[in-house]
Structure 1
Amino acid sequence: MNVSRLLIAAATTLSISAFSFAATAQEKVTLRVHSFSSPVAPEAVHMVLPFIEKVREESGGRLELEFYPGMQLGGRASDLIQQLEDGVVDFVVTIPGVTPGRFAGLEGMDMPFTNVGTSAGQTASLLAFADKWLLDNEFEGIKIIHMHATDAGVLHTTRKKIDNAAAMQGLRIRAPGRYVGEAITLLGGTPVGLALGEVYEALERGQIDGMAINWAIMPSYKFEEVTKFSLETPLYQTPIMVLMRQESYDNLPDDLKAVIDNNIGIEKSVEVAKKIDELTVQAKQVVKDAGNEIYALDDAERTRWIETATPVYKIWIDEMNSRGLPGQEMFDDILAITAANGRE
């Protein structure tokens, strides 16, 4: 892996400054971080807030990052990348699924059954795949601060178990992205797009019958209160990213750039992922303590689900081909990389 390009390298060329003047060595700089998720979500507690604190500490208070979780600055999660590119904010915390097509290659790591294992293992897969295929075509004008794979995303439902595809028929399931949504459709359900902050109420009111979401985030939103059944069989894992506007980085004096660079890196991403794996165990216990049932597909049924979801892969491969990229080779690489890192 070309580590020097991913998460660590400082920019070598300067963009046109977003500010009216470049920050000098002794000025205090305040930048804004906008996030789609809750201030108590795992990515906030274990990734964003520690990063903000370290930056403040190592800069002697000269670099202040203001954190706005839960879309406090307005808009929807799908607006975050545009807000970053327009200079409305300097950092965003997002997932590729909320802006379909913007990170089309990275969405390949969000497809059902291709990237399931531990957060630590599949974070290594994610970084390897992004480094090999995506840095030169999906992150122009963006500096990657952090990237990790969530723990396993599974189905949580309100009224009944989904232990076979027939049980999915007619159910309205909140999906985190288009490829998981396509798989839900193929299995007989109806995917519904909802922001995380809207899901609890939708479950409580019966507007949806369940959701596809990773274990670790369950307690942060108290979803165990409004679901009764959790399918332990892993379906997918989602990349979570902290991205910085390249112009905002370029405008910093060298010593503050060094503070940013000192607090990013592959090792730090994997370190966060290991913490997420610990949270998985804790979240499952929270779900059990709420009296909910955790169950799994048998091997034969899981195989049927994978076979049913296979057309999803062709959709992604064809999209890569349409962008002038070798879709089949990239897909084969996803399977090889994730298998090497413990895909189930």
Structure 2
Amino acid sequence: MIHLKNALRVSLAGATAAIALTAAPAFAETELVMSSWLPPRHPIVVNAMTHWAEQVEEVTDGRVTVRILARPLGEPPAHFDMAKDGVADITYGLHSFTTDDRFTRSRIGQFSFIGDDAVTSSQAFWNIYSGPLEAQQEHEGTKLLGLFVHGPGVLWSNQRQAETKDDIAGQKIRVPGGYIADLMSDLGAETLFMSSPEVYEKLSRGVIDGVTFTYEALTAFNLTDDLKFGMTVPGGLYNTTWFLVMNEAKWGEISPEDQAAIEGISGEAFAELVGTAWNDADAAAMDKISEAGIQIAPAPDALLEEIKTDAEKYEKAWADAIAEGGYDGAAALSDLRAATGVSF
């Protein structure tokens, strides 16, 4: 009987050890939940976020995975705080959707004449904002994984082609907040802030006359039937700046080895990935915009000069504001435009 009990103890100990060995890899794995507010078939979700999630799993040998939710856990403007507060592990969004001034230095990527190519513009934005402008400090409570911009922003209208300020005056124009809201007000428009998914309803019902958007957005949000004119400027009338962040505590749960691997596919590499997705989406959208009969024209020289004058005013105000923190905004803007090849 004693031998039987000893044998049973040995057997149970061996089984417990086997269970522990089997269970160890499962406990070592980390699933990260990304709240995604763009439509699931949006090119940035399909060709950037999804690919990045796949890369995370690949470079960590499956120890870290990312699950992208089909429905967001909150409204688009809430997404930074959702990551900071741990409502979601990972989020992305626009800096201008956050109405306070916590992302003041991000505005460098929102000005006019920034760049015509989303890859070089996104990489330049990442390198300058995360480098000399210390973006991580403005994203406190999260791990900053990515920064990017889209292709050149355009003014779209269903009223008339914008050839002078008088053509813009009085039109109700959707803006994403930030610099372009100020610029459009100076140009005489009545600006209305709304997130991207809200635009279709407001435009189709006649609540707004036009939008500031990319080429891609017209097809992604089904707007081609409700717009007639587009006005462009070299390097974009404006841009929007975006973040990709992870909850700081969740990042701390990941091993240093896997953190380094994830950083290797983030940052500038992610800027190239998402910039390529924007470029491809813009190119595809241009064909559909042409088929819809929307007329696109560059801003006439006189209007372009007025836009430059207004832009310089806001750039100087921004540079003066961040100078109080020891940052050289004018030099940073010059470096950004040198990297994207836009002269201003």
TM-score interval, smaller chain: 0.7 to 0.9
User: Which of the two has higher C-alpha Rg?
Assistant: 2
- Cα distance, 1:257 vs structure 2: 3.2
Separation in 2 of the partners of 1:127 and 1:79? 22
Deviations 1:95-140 (A, max 9, x none): 1111131211012211233x13211221232022111112353133
The aligned residue for residue 11 of structure 1 is none
The aligned residue for residue 297 of structure 2 is 295
Separation in 2 of the partners of 1:268 and 1:65? 15
Shift in alpha-carbon separation, 1:313–1:261, aligned structure 2, 3 A: closer
The aligned residue for residue 145 of structure 2 is 145
Separation in 1 of the partners of 2:69 and 2:241? 20
Separation in 2 of the partners of 1:339 and 1:303? 21
- Cα distance, 1:24 vs structure 2: 6.7
Instruction: Report the number of matched residues.
Output: 316
1:267 aligns with 2:269: yes
The aligned residue for residue 241 of structure 1 is 243
The aligned residue for residue 184 of structure 2 is 184
The aligned residue for residue 134 of structure 1 is 134
Shift in alpha-carbon separation, 1:30–1:268, aligned structure 2, 3 A: closer
Q: Partner letter of residue 141 of structure 1?
A: G
Separation in 2 of the partners of 1:106 and 1:189? 24
- Cα distance, 1:199 vs structure 2: 0.2
Separation in 2 of the partners of 1:36 and 1:332? 35
Q: Partner letter of residue 115 of structure 2?
A: V
State TM-score, norm by structure 2.
Answer: 0.84
Structure 2 residue ranges without an equivalent (≥5): 1-22
Deviations 1:245-301 (A, max 9, x none): 221111123454355234324134224313422332221111011121111112332
**Which stretch of the first structure deviates more once superposed, 35-44 or 196-205?**
35-44
1:232 aligns with 2:232: yes
SS of 1:235's equivalent in the other structure is coil
Decide whether the 8 Å contact of 1:122 with 1:342 is kept in 2.
Answer: no
Q: Partner letter of residue 47 of structure 1?
A: A
The aligned residue for residue 209 of structure 1 is 209
Separation in 2 of the partners of 1:179 and 1:54? 34
1:282 aligns with 2:281: no
**Which stretch of the first structure deviates more once superposed, 51-60 or 246-255?**
51-60
State TM-score, norm by structure 1.
Answer: 0.84
Separation in 2 of the partners of 1:339 and 1:62? 40
SS of 2:237's equivalent in the other structure is strand
The aligned residue for residue 103 of structure 1 is 103
The aligned residue for residue 120 of structure 2 is 121
- Cα distance, 1:314 vs structure 2: 3.7
Separation in 2 of the partners of 1:59 and 1:24? 16
1:1-344 pair list within 5 angstroms? 25-27=25-27, 28-59=29-60, 61-68=62-69, 72-74=72-74, 76-100=75-99, 101-113=101-113, 115-130=114-129, 131-135=131-135, 137-233=137-233, 234-254=236-256, 256-322=258-324, 324-326=325-327, 329-343=328-342
The aligned residue for residue 8 of structure 1 is none
Structure 1 or 2: more helix by fraction: 2
Decide whether the 8 Å contact of 2:53 with 2:66 is kept in 1.
Answer: yes
Q: Percent identity?
A: 22
Structure 1 residue ranges without an equivalent (≥5): 1-22
